[in-house]
Structures are given as C-alpha cells and as structure tokens.
Structure 1
Amino acid sequence: MYNGSDYDGASGDNNLSDNYSSPYLMPWPQRTSWIAIFTLMLFVAIVGNTLVAWIVLAHRRMKTVTNYFLVNLSLADLTMSLFNCIFNFTFMLNSHWPFGGFYCTVNNFIANVTVAASVFTLVAISFDRYIAIVHPLRPRMSKCIARIAITLIWLASCILAVPCLLYSQIISHKYSNGEIRIVCIIVWPDGLPSVSQQDFIYNIVFTVLTYLIPVSVMGVCYSRMSYILWRSQTIGELNQRQAESIQSKRKVVRMFMVIVMLFAVCWLPYHGYFVYQFIDDQVISYKYVQHIFLAFYWLAMSNAMINPLVYYYMNARFFNLTYFHRH
C-alpha cells in the first residue's frame, strides 16, 4: 500500500490481463511539472532532515531525550526520501519498474518500515512530553531508555512490514502493441492486490496501527497537555522561574501539536484513496486518476519535508545553530 504497489500507473484495470491497452504515459509538459515538484520536495526533505540530525548529534547541549527522538524521526524521513520515494515516483510516473526484483522487495519493505517508524516515534515523543507535563513528579525517561524505545520502534516497524519481504515480486507484461512493462507489486497467496482479501485486511490493519490509533492517542495526549499548560493559572501569578518554565513547555508542546496535525493532514488523502479503492475497484481507470494519486502521494511524502521546516521555524535553538554555522 505505502509503496504505491497497489497502483500500477495504467489507465486500465489492475489485473495484468493479456488484453491490456498500452500503459498511460503523461505528456512531457505534465511529466516535467511533476518531476520539478517532486525534486524540490525531495531536496528540501533530504537537506532539512540531514541538518536536523547533524545539529543534534554535533552539539552536546542538543542531546536530549526529545531530540534523540527527533533524530530518529529525521532518520526515518531521510530513509524514505532517499531509498523509497525517488524510486516509487519513477515507477508511478513511467508505469514501469526498471530497478529489478531485489530492489522491488527492498523498496516495498522500506516504505512500510519508515512510515511505521515515523508515526511510532511521534507517539513516543507525545508520551515523553505527557509524563513531563501532566505527571512532573514521575521519573523522566533517561537517554538509555530512549535508545531502547527507538530500537523497539524499529523492531516493531520491521515486523509490521514482513509481508513486503515475503510477497513482493516483479511481473512482466507484454501489451497488444508489443510494449513490455514491468510492475513491482505485492502478490499475496490469494492473488493480486485488486482481488486479494489478505491485502485488504493487511492494509486496514496497517492504517489502523499507523494512522487511526496513533493520531487518536496523540490527540488525547496533547489535549491533556494543553489543558494543563493553558488552564486558568496565568503567567502573571507565577514567579519568574516558573513563568519561564511554563513558557518553554508551551513552545515545545505547540511545536509538536503542529507536527502531529500536519502529519494527520498530509497522510489523510493517501489513506482515504486506498480505502476508497477497496470500495470502488474501478477507480484506477478514472480520468486523471494518475494525477490525483501523484498529488496524494506527494502530499504524504511532503511530510518528510515539512517537519524540519517546523523545527527551524518554531525552535530557536535549531534556527540559531543553523544560522550561526552559516555565518
């Protein structure tokens, strides 16, 4: 699902039958526009997430538990941008997979692992902030525990993506006009994605575990934190040290609330497309569906670009360390 393997980029049925028409290829002006849009997004995502990791790892005062999770989030986004999005976009744009069977499996696996790792990291950050703000007397998460949590995040993400390792394959098809196309898809034991009940169940479970439940949990956590930090007690009723602490916590919570909301917005259309595809299996044949899918895919992938921009805009330390090292 998250690798685009359920979408074959053709303007016909998604069944690889022998009566296929020629795959739909965009006119060059449209292709050039999409290439420019994706190239810009990937450039910002790669540079931005690399800078985030460097800022935290190269500066001792930035090595906090929360920032370790931010580095992990940047690592997941960077991996997705470098090793999945570039290849997947090429596949969807050209209706052809030229990268071989091995990387088909790797690409599908990386896609689901990085999506899961990103959202699980956001959940871990919300739990860390929740304990610090709602239960300040409880022991804080140590750096050692944070490293263990990050390891478990990647382990759980890999387990969730195991079907991609087991069932990914490339299929070659010759069209009636003599053209040959190769597609990279996940072929389940009960058939192709368009007819597979196992594919439907897996994608629903994946959506619930990596979108619906995490977004709901984070929504509850940040609602509770907001109530604690912005309740009736005003800054004027506190001494200077307490007021500064509250202001600092508010800034951090506000930043992560923005990140979570952007995650929910960026991924909602993409999830919605695949849910609708299971309801209407003819959606792949609709006019302009390739443009619609690419737009949804770009929006989902752009979340990797947006996160570093939010850090630099809403976190003075990230901005200052980046700025002063450039001047």
Structure 2
Amino acid sequence: MANWTFLENSTSENISDILMEDIPHENVFILPWWKQTLWSLVFGGMVLVATGGNLIVIWIVLAHKQMRTVTNYFLVNLSLADTMVSTLNVIFNFTYMLNTDWPFGWAYCKISNFIAIVSVSASVFTLMAISIDRYMAIMHPLKPRMSRMTTLIITLCIWVAGSLLSLPNLLYSTTITEMFSNGDYRIICFMVWPDGYSNVSYTEYIYNVVILVLTYMLPITSMTYTYFRVGRELWGSQSIGECTEKQLEAVRSKRKIVKMMIVVVFIFAVCWLPYHIYFLLAHHHPEIISSDYVQHIYLAIYWLAMSNSMYNPIIYCWMNSRFRQGFKKVFLMCFCAKKTNSMRLYEQRHHATGHYSCSEPYAYTKVTFNGNANVTLHTVTETLNGSGSFSTPILPPKLVDKKEELSNV
C-alpha cells in the first residue's frame, strides 16, 4: 500500500506511525486529459446552474414583498445552503477527486469537510421545517401561523444543529502526503479518527450511520408522513356544502405548493441514496475502494448527490407561477442589459468613425429632385424659444436656387 508522511502544518503528529510497506511507483489516479475535460464540463455546468439558480431564488423572495412568506423564507434558507454546497465545497472537492491531490492547504481541508455536512444538514432540516409548516397550515388551519421571528429562530436552530453534527469533520480532518517511488507525491485530505484513519475507523462508521439516520432516513420518513396526511386532506376529503370560488382557489394554491415540495423531497431522496450506500459498502467491503473504475463511480455518485442543489430552482420555476415570473424578469433584464450595451458600443463606434451624430435623423439622407441624381441632405438642430428642438434639412446651393425660382413663380 502507501507510505504516508504528514505535512509540516498537520496537527496529527500522534499518528505519524501510519506507514505502509509497499510504495506505489506513481500516481495512478491521474485521469487522461479528455476524461478530465468531460468531467470538468459535467461538474462545471452543474455548479453554474446551481449557483445562478439559487441566487435568483434568493433575489426573487427578498426583493419582492409579496413573496416574503414563511415557506419562501425557508426556501431562501434552502437556496443559501445549496449555494454554499456548489461554491464552497463542490468546486474544491471535484478538483481534489480529479487527481486525488489536495492543493488547497490543511486549513481549508477542515473547512471544506465541515461545510459539506453543515450545508446538507441545513438543506434537509429546512425541508423538514417546510413540511411541518405545510402540515400545520393545512391540518390545523385555525391555529396561528409562524411569525417572521419564529421563522428566523427556527432557521438559526437549523444551522446550529448542522454545525454540531458536522463538528467532527472540523476536529479530525487533516492532510497527509503520499510519496511515490518515482519521486512524485500527492496530498490527501481525509479524516483521522481517534481509533484510526478513514475507512478503517469504527468511530467513522458509527458517524456515517448517524449521518445517514439524521440527514436521510429520519427526514424522509417524517416528510413522507406529513405530506401523505396533507395530500389525503387536500385531495381526499370532501367539503360540506358548496365552496366559493375563493375557497376553491385557496385549495388549488395549497395543492400546487404541496406538489412542488413533494417533488423536491423525492428528488432529494433519489440523489442522496447512492451516496449513503457507497460509504456503508466501503466500510464492509474495503476492496471496492481499490477497484479499477472506483474513481469514475465515485465521481458519478458524488455528482448525483451534489446535483440536488441545482434541481430545486428548476422545480420552483416549473411548478410555481410567481417564481416563473421572477426568473423571466431576471432573464429579460439580462437580455435588455446586453442589448443596451451592444447599442451603446455601436453608437460609440459610429460616432468615432463618422462626421455626424446618430441623433441627427436626416444625416446622409438621399433624395431625388427633378430626376437628378440622389443628393445628400444634411441636417442641423434648431431650438425654438428654448422649449424644444426640431431638425431642418440644409439644402445644397443648387437646390436652394431651384427653391427660390419655384417660389418666385
């Protein structure tokens, strides 16, 4: 296996005796350039869509007063967590996984691993908060709704709980250097637990099981129950008497929100299931870590899990008319800004290369007079009593004489 030596800035000198007998000849994890290009395009597209989409969602809610509801505040928190995933974690982890070399230093190794669990925990706990809010609003409509202060307190508790759950990543993450017999080396960012290093420690296995239960199984079970009860209430129950149009519209609006959140939860469950299964299998079957295609398999599993952060804005735009209008407004603003910049550039170039300003409407206008060849008319702008301006064509000398002759007839 590998010969491990710690970096100078590592704080885990007590495990410097982790040395392997067999030293690899070279780094076999470096992918060919074309495979690196393909994976870079796949991950780059995901990061771009996730970051841009979630920032737009945050802007839509915070910039429009009618969008500031309890559910939408939670969606802002969800978008913030997803943005953290795509910008502060995915970019760095993908670079690391591409060549299994960590060039970002010992400190950010801890921060990156910490952010990974914090953001995921914040996302799933926010989804749970939304499901509970929907449950209370529909199943107990007479009870008072959450206030803005209550929403902020719950959001703060979500991040505190996520930080506590991710604290081991901050404490036990470190970097080590693996040397190769040809003189090359690579830096590895991983976790070293009190009872051993990653993939060997039983403590890490227990930690992964806790993460699986608290950030996947428990939330999925809770949200399945709440949305099942809500769905049965909205689609299964029959109201007594005749409903007014306003009541029907309120029911339709609630159904749309519930359907949207059910899709969000379903996508979350599908995206994260292979990721959790992989770590459990890696502990019970360590040989899969050294298989031939494990790098591509893990990249695919990791991309699927992280891509969950880009689906939510797409779902909002698809299933919610207000978010759809907000996205259209943003894209229209970008298009108009691009068009305005293009027109401004055109005007600057035209002014630099011509003798007349674009504001002169008749400049270089061609006319035909008495069958003669086209003659150019130039214009000037005159002001009447300072109240406005108009453009008067300045006739060439020949046309002026001809005009006088006609006026004398």
**How many angstroms apart in 2 are the aligned matches of 1:83 and 1:235?**
53
Task: With a CA cutoff of 8 Å and minimum separation of 6, indicate the structure with the bigger relative contact order.
Answer: 1
Local SS of the residue matching 1:243: helix
* Conserved? CA contact 1:16–1:173, under 8 Å: no
Greater CA radius of gyration, 1 or 2?
Answer: 2
Query: Of residues 272, 291, 299 in structure 2, which corresponds to 1:294?
Result: 299
Tell me the equivalent position of 1:6: none
Q: Does 1:133 align with 2:138?
A: yes
**How many angstroms apart in 1 are the aligned matches of 2:297 and 2:104?**
24
Local SS of the residue matching 1:137: coil
Tell me the equivalent position of 1:202: 207
Tell me the equivalent position of 2:175: 170
Q: Per the alignment, do residues 78 and 325 of structure 1 end up closer, same or farther by CA in structure 2, a change over 3 Å counting?
A: closer
Q: Per the alignment, do residues 325 and 295 of structure 1 end up closer, same or farther by CA in structure 2, a change over 3 Å counting?
A: closer
Tell me the equivalent position of 2:111: 106
Q: Per the alignment, do residues 315 and 236 of structure 1 end up closer, same or farther by CA in structure 2, a change over 3 Å counting?
A: farther
Per-residue Cα deviation, 1:213-266 (whole angstroms, up to 9, x for no partner): 001100000011000000142899522111111100000000000000000000
Q: Does 1:91 align with 2:96?
A: yes
Structural RMSD (CA): 1.5
* Conserved? CA contact 2:137–2:145, under 8 Å: yes
Tell me the equivalent position of 1:124: 129
Query: Of residues 306, 312, 315 in structure 2, which corresponds to 1:307?
Result: 312
Q: Per the alignment, do residues 236 and 309 of structure 1 end up closer, same or farther by CA in structure 2, a change over 3 Å counting?
A: farther
* Pairwise CA distance, 1:275: 1.1
Per-residue Cα deviation, 1:139-158 (whole angstroms, up to 9, x for no partner): 11111100000000000000
Q: Per the alignment, do residues 246 and 235 of structure 1 end up closer, same or farther by CA in structure 2, a change over 3 Å counting?
A: farther
TM-score, structure 2 normalization: 0.75
Give the structure with the larger helix fraction: 1
Q: Per the alignment, do residues 124 and 116 of structure 1 end up closer, same or farther by CA in structure 2, a change over 3 Å counting?
A: same
**How many angstroms apart in 2 are the aligned matches of 1:294 and 1:271?**
14
**How many angstroms apart in 2 are the aligned matches of 1:143 and 1:42?**
31
* Conserved? CA contact 1:19–1:175, under 8 Å: no
Query: Of residues 14, 17, 22 in structure 2, which corresponds to 1:19?
Result: 22
Q: Does 1:254 align with 2:259?
A: yes
Tell me the equivalent position of 2:287: 282
Query: Of residues 70, 78, 84 in structure 2, which corresponds to 1:73?
Result: 78
Range moving further from structure 2, 20-29 or 315-324:
20-29
Per-residue Cα deviation, 1:50-98 (whole angstroms, up to 9, x for no partner): 0000111111111111111000000000011111110000001111000
**How many angstroms apart in 2 are the aligned matches of 1:178 and 1:144?**
59
* Conserved? CA contact 2:191–2:198, under 8 Å: yes
**How many angstroms apart in 1 are the aligned matches of 2:301 and 2:53?**
22
Tell me the equivalent position of 2:361: none
* Conserved? CA contact 2:193–2:203, under 8 Å: yes
**How many angstroms apart in 2 are the aligned matches of 1:207 and 1:320?**
37
* Pairwise CA distance, 1:27: 1.4
Query: Of residues 209, 213, 222 in structure 1, which corresponds to 2:218?
Result: 213
* Pairwise CA distance, 1:134: 1.0
* Conserved? CA contact 2:135–2:230, under 8 Å: yes
Aligned length: 313
Range moving further from structure 2, 229-238 or 92-101:
229-238
* Pairwise CA distance, 1:322: 2.2
* Pairwise CA distance, 1:32: 0.8
* Pairwise CA distance, 1:113: 0.5
* Pairwise CA distance, 1:18: 4.8
Per-residue Cα deviation, 1:149-206 (whole angstroms, up to 9, x for no partner): 0000000000111111111110011112211110001100111112101101111101
Tell me the equivalent position of 1:233: 238
Range moving further from structure 2, 26-35 or 261-270:
26-35
**How many angstroms apart in 1 are the aligned matches of 2:79 and 2:184?**
40
TM-score, structure 1 normalization: 0.93
